[in-house]
Amino acid sequence: TTALREQACQVLEANWTGRFTKPAPRLYPHQWSWDAAFIALGWMHENQERAQQELRHLFRAQWKNGLVPHIVFHRRARGYFPGPGVWETHRSPDAPARIATSGIVQPPVHATAAWAMYRQARDRRATRAFLEELFPKLMAWHDYLFRERDYHSEGLVYIRHPWESGMDNAPLWDGIEQRMHLNPGDRPRYRRVDTTLVAEADRPTGAEYDRYLYLVRLFAEAGYDEARLRESCPFLVEDVLFNTLICQAEQDLAEIAAELGDDPEPFRQRARRVAEAVNRKLWDDRRALYFDYDLVLDRPIWVRMAACFTPLFAGIPDGLQAARLVSHLEASGFFNWDGSCYSVPSYDPNGLGFSPVQYWRGPVWININWLLIEGLARYGYTEHAAHLGRTVRLLVERNGFYEYYHPYTGEGHGSEQFSWTAALVLDLLA
C-alpha cells in the first residue's frame, strides 16, 4: 500500500499545473468542477494547501448568480473541444468577464469536500479561515441550484445537459437523445479532439456529441436565461446522483455553518426536504431502486445505473429501503463477492446497450465505487464496504490509475494518469 500511495501522489503531482490539478494529462487540460472536489479529497491527506487551492481556483470562476461552471478554462492549455468560443458565456450577464468558463454545472460535491478537508486538517486554525472564505460561496452555489433548478419547488433540482450529470453517455439519456431529432441544418459543425487522444471506442459517439453541442448552442442563444431554458430545453432531468450529492452537500454545509457559529438549521431543513422528495418521487418501491425522472415527458427513466444506489451515501433511504437496495445490488450483477467481475460497473451488466469499455455505459468508475463504499459503511454494511474497497485497490494496483476500467478484465480505459482515481485511492488508503 505504501507503493500504491506513492504512485497516487505522483499522479496528482504530475497533473498539478501550479494553480489547480488537471483531471488528466492531455484529455482534460482544464479544471473540471466535480473532479476538483474529488481531487481535493485526495490532496487533503498529503497537502492541505493544494486541496484548498483546488477549490479556491474553481470558486474564483463562480458566476454572479451562484452557478459554479463545470469547466474553468486554463489560458495556456490547448487541444480541448469544446473550448470557450463554443460556450459564448459573454451572452450571459452573470458570467465572469475575465475568466473563461463553460455555462453548465456538474454535481455539487464541493461542500462535502470542504468539510472533509476541515476534519482532516492538522492545523484547524488555518483551515478555519479557509472555511470562512468558502462558506458564502458554497451557500450561493446551493442557493443557485434551489432557486433556478427546482422546477416545481418540490425540493429536487434538475440538470439540463448530459454533461451536467457527470455521466455523459449513460444509457439514461438514450430515450431523450432519440427524441432530439436533428435535421441536417440543425447539426452543429465541429471537430472533436477527444477521439484523437484516446480510443474512439471508449468515448461517446458522434450522434451523442451532435446533441451535446446542439444543447450548448441552445443555451448560448437563450443567453443562459434559466427561465427561458426551463420552458424550451428538451433535456430536463431530476437525476438521482445529482440530488443525492446536493442532499449530502447541504448536510455538510450545516456542519460548516455550526462550526463557524452560524445557524445550521436552514441547511439541515433543506437536506431533509431533498431526502423526502427523493423518496417520494424517485424511489420505485416495486423495483426497490431509485430512478431518474424526465421532466419533459413527466415520467421516470427506468434505467439501472450504479448511481441509482448512491442515495445510501446521503443517508436518504430508511433501514428497510437500504436492506432492499443492498439485496438488489447483490442480485443484479452490480456487486460480486466471487470476483467474477470488478465491482461495481457503472451500468447494469445485463442492460440493453451495456458496453464494458464505453465511458458511462458499463465500465467501472472509481468515484461511483467510492460513493457506494461510503454509503454501505454508513448503513453498517461494513463487509460489503470492505470488499468493495479491496476490489478497487486491486483494480488500480494491477492496472494503473485509469479513468475507467473494463469490469471483467480490469483493463484500463479512457485516459491514464487520471487524477480522481488517484485521489480517491489516497482517501481509501487513509
* DSSP letters spanning 412-429: EES-SS-HHHHHHHHHHH
- Spell 80-110 as b/e; 16+ CB within 10 A means b: bebbbebbbbeebebbbeebbbbbbbbbbbb
SS3 42: helix
| Least distance (Å) between residue 27 CB and ligand DGY | 8
| Residue count, binding to ligand DGY (CB under 6 A) | 4
In angstroms, what is the minimal distance from the CB of 6 to ligand DGY?
28
| The only residue of 144, 163, 242, 290 in contact with ligand DGY, by rule CB under 6 A | 163
Asked about 411 being catalytic, the answer comes back as: no
374 binds ligand DGY (CB under 6 A): no
Secondary structure (DSSP) of 80-130: -SS-HHHH-GGGSSSS-SSS-B-S------HHHHHHHHHHH-S-HHHHHHH
One-letter identity of residue 25: P
For residue 117, which phi and psi values (nearest 5 degrees)?
-60, -40
- 172-211 residues in contact with ligand DGY (CB under 6 A) are 194
CA 84 to chain centre: 21
Do the beta carbons of residue 117 and residue 127 sit within 8 Å? yes
Has 168 been annotated as catalytic?
A: yes
The cell for 211 is: 446533441
Q: What is the DSSP letter of 47?
A: -
- Judged by CB, which is closer to ligand DGY: 166, or 317? 166
**CA 48 – CA 54 distance, rounded (Å):** 10
Q: Which is nearer to ligand DGY, 177 or 194 (CB)?
A: 194
Residue among 35, 54, 148, 168 flagged as catalytic: 168
**Could you tell me which of 83, 35, 25 has the C-alpha nearest to residue 57?**
35
Beta pairing class for 31-32 and 71-72: antiparallel
Of 71 and 392, nearer to ligand DGY (C-beta) is 71
Q: Which is nearer to ligand DGY, 163 or 293 (CB)?
A: 163
Is residue 168 within the footprint of ligand DGY (CB under 6 A)?
Answer: yes
Closer residue to ligand DGY in complex, CB, 384/413? 413
| 331, amino acid identity | A
State the Rg of the chain over Cα: 20
The DSSP output letter for 21 is: B
| Min CB(213)–ligand DGY separation in Å | 11
How far apart are CB 84 and ligand DGY at their closest, in Å? 13
CA 109 – CA 424 distance, rounded (Å): 13
Q: Are 314 and 249 in contact (CB under 8 A)?
A: no
In whole angstroms, how close is the CB of 166 to ligand DGY at the nearest point? 8
Q: From the candidates 194, 226, 403, 416, which is the catalytic residue?
A: 403
CB of 226 to ligand DGY, least distance (A): 20
Q: Tell me how far, at minimum, the Cβ of 134 lies from ligand DGY, in Å.
A: 23
Q: Which of 97, 104, 114 is nearest to 41 (CA)?
A: 114
Is the CB of 30 or the CB of 270 nearer to ligand DGY?
Answer: 30
Q: Which residue's CB is nearer to ligand DGY, number 161 or number 406?
A: 161
Q: List, in sequence order, every residue forming a beta bridge with 299; answer none if it has no partner.
A: 294
Nearer to ligand DGY, 194 or 348 (CB): 194
Is position 73 an interface residue for ligand DGY (rule: CB under 6 A)? Answer: no
Furthest C-alpha separation in the chain: 59
Work out how close the CB of 194 gets to ligand DGY at its nearest, in angstroms, rounded to a whole number.
6
Residues that bind ligand DGY (CB under 6 A): 70, 163, 168, 194
The catalytic residue positions are 168, 403
